[in-house]
Amino acid sequence: MNILGIETSCDETSGAVVCGGQVRSNVVSSQHCHAIFGGVVPELASREHERLIVSIVDAAVTESNITKNDLDVIAATAGPGLIGAVMVGLCFAQGMAYALKIPFIPINHIEAHIFSPFINEGSGHNAPEASYVSLTVSGGHTLLSLVAQDLSYKVIGRTLDDAAGEAFDKTGKMLGLPYPAGPVIDKLAERGDTAFHHFPRALTSQSQTSKSYHGNFDFSFSGLKTSVLTWLQKQTPEFIESHKADIAASIQEAIVSVLVEKTISAARSHHLKAVSMAGGVSANSALRKAMKEACDKAGITLHVPAALYSTDNAAMIATLAALKLSRGMKAEHRYNIAPYASFAAGARYASLK
């Protein structure tokens, strides 16, 4: 089965070809036009996707060494995401499938992140054999899910306000860092002191509401943002400039420690021995290190896709389509599927079918 995957939910235009369950190509173009605005501008994102979609898909097919006529199925993100951005890839994919007279599969972007450990570059996938806890941490989402052996899944916690990626990006902006600030904070924090300042960790054992945190797998990062802002307002520009790495390391530590504590606690309370991480923030080196150490200590195995599959990519879209087909899903000759913006609107909490 030769599957073309297309992803345009935010600011990455991506096309990938998966043949027989293996990734043959994964072309990703990240939009840089948003940097001067300090965040993704939805209308600009849609226009960039429109400008690039033909050449990205062409490159993905060419790199895979098959032709368009060899494709059996096309899959694309139908949501959640920026509605105009999703629409570009979704309409293009459905139009192309219709023209080629092949079926189309709509994919939920968050589900694609959850199942990204199944991405197989040729030497097998890196997904747990048994049930696992999945942490999905991106610019728009932060959620914990339980994935059962039959690949049904259930969301057990999510952010009540901002996503972890947003906490990185917005606090980074306060520090004068360019967008997206997540990778910049990651790099800067390497030479900073994580104990320089203690920023709050909401809904954890260390928070003031610690009595209610047990068994609560929800997240909250908006308080951290406010705390960073009010603390920075009390410092002089010279102090901030000379301690940028320490502040970055302290902010990163506050985010990472919450993510690790909640994930390990979810695995423990559900008696699971495997954890996976996906989404842009899971590329964070401190998170990878801290999660690995915590998993080792708890006797849990950690499964993370390669960093290039942590951030948005079409290989995860085509891979999830392949997984669904291998589990009996019937791809339809239906080309009028509408995009959706929010996770709840398109999430299938129960099953991959």
Residues 164-223 that bind ligand KG4 (CB under 6 A): 165, 168-169, 180-183, 186
Contact of residue 169 among ligand KG4, Zn ion, none (CB under 5-8 Å per partner type): ligand KG4
Min dist CB 111 to ligand KG4, Å, is: 13
Report the residue number, 115 or 213, with the smaller CB distance to ligand KG4.
115
Total chain residues near ligand KG4 (CB under 6 A): 19
Q: Which residues would be at the binding site for Zn ion (CB under 5 A)?
A: 138, 312
Report the residue number, 4 or 277, with the smaller CB distance to ligand KG4.
277
The one-letter amino acid at 44: L
Report the residue number, 15 or 103, with the smaller CB distance to ligand KG4.
15
Neighbours of 349 (CB within 10 A): 10
Contact of residue 180 among ligand KG4, Zn ion, none (CB under 5-8 Å per partner type): ligand KG4
Residues 311-350 that bind ligand KG4 (CB under 6 A): 311-312
**How many Å apart are CA 121 and CA 319, to the nearest integer?**
10
**How many Å apart are CA 298 and CA 275, to the nearest integer?**
11
Report the residue number, 131 or 311, with the smaller CB distance to ligand KG4.
311
Residues 101-160 that bind ligand KG4 (CB under 6 A): 138-140
Min dist CB 279 to Zn ion, Å, is: 5
Contact of residue 168 among Zn ion, ligand KG4, none (CB under 5-8 Å per partner type): ligand KG4
Neighbours of 212 (CB within 10 A): 9
Residues 10-69 that bind ligand KG4 (CB under 6 A): 10
Report the residue number, 81 or 103, with the smaller CB distance to Zn ion.
81
CA-CA distances (angstroms) from residue 98 to 56, 58, 151, 333, 334? 19, 17, 30, 8, 8
Report the residue number, 227 or 310, with the smaller CB distance to Zn ion.
310
Min dist CB 73 to ligand KG4, Å, is: 23
Neighbours of 184 (CB within 10 A): 17
Residues 259-298 that bind ligand KG4 (CB under 6 A): 279-281, 283-284
Contact of residue 79 among ligand KG4, Zn ion, none (CB under 5-8 Å per partner type): none
The one-letter amino acid at 225: K
- Both tokens of residue 10? 């935010």
Binding mask 151-170 for ligand KG4 (x = CB under 6 A): --------------x--xx-
Report the residue number, 111 or 186, with the smaller CB distance to ligand KG4.
186
**Contact assessment for residue 29 and residue 52, using Cβ atoms and an 8 Å cutoff:** yes
Min dist CB 99 to ligand KG4, Å, is: 29
Contact of residue 106 among ligand KG4, Zn ion, none (CB under 5-8 Å per partner type): none
Q: Which residues of this chain interact with ligand KG4, rule CB under 6 A?
A: 10, 138-140, 165, 168-169, 180-183, 186, 279-281, 283-284, 311-312
